Amino acid sequence: MPFSDFAIKKMEAFAGFAGTGFNTGIDYLSSKGGFLGFIASTGYSIMNFDSKAYKSEYDRILDQAGEVAVNAGNYNFFRTTVGLSGRITEINAIDIKLFIQAGISLSMHPEIIVTHSRFGIINSVKQDWAWASTSGAGLKINYNFSENYAVSFGYSLNLLYPGFNDEGPHSHFNLPVRFANFNLGFLIDL
């Protein structure tokens, strides 16, 4: 779920026109019974590019003169992070932890082509991949239904700032990417 500039759907600087998406990942948690622990994560997120909102902005700018069509792909993010986790409390079978992480990400900006019925292609952005540092913070609530197994609910905020390349006079641009993940998972104590 995008937020901040990444979720803006108006023609403004740093607007991402990002919509909701899907994520999957694997976390490794180690805390050996103490307050502080270690967390390592890897994951993948995909978020749609809101073509309808992008088209609406072109319709607004061109004052409805002619037909505008937008063809766009999706945002893709691969993240690998490490960090610290801290146990807030453990009540009965419920374990609550906060965590902070930092790492590296590979992001893909979708290809975008905007065509106008009279003028042809009026804007295009090529698909590009970019590496960037990433950070995140979140909360995990684990319900232990046996000694070795638990169900986990997680919420995290993810921040990255990839720089993408395009063609033209202003060919390099940075995009502040901010999104929240809601996760439901299964834990196995090895």
Q: What is the pLDDT along the chain (190 residues), one digit of tens a residue?
A: 887 888 888 888 888 899 999 999 999 988 876 789 999 999 999 999 999 999 999 999 888 788 999 999 999 999 999 999 998 887 888 989 999 999 999 999 999 999 999 889 998 999 999 999 999 999 999 998 888 899 999 999 999 999 898 776 677 888 899 999 999 998 887 7
Question: Environment class of residue 41 by beta-carbon count within 10 Å: exposed (0-12), middle (13-18) or buried (19+)?
Answer: buried
Q: Where are the domains of the chain?
A: 4-61+74-107+129-188
Task: Name the nearest CA neighbour of 74 among 42, 52, 46, 106.
Answer: 46
The answer to whether residues 86 and 35 touch, using CB atoms and an 8 Å cutoff, is: yes
Q: Which CATH class is domain 4-61+74-107+129-188?
A: mainly beta
Going by their DSSP bridges, the two strands 112-116 and 68-72 should be labelled as antiparallel
CA distance linking residue 101 with residue 86, whole number of Å: 12
Residue 187, pLDDT score = 84
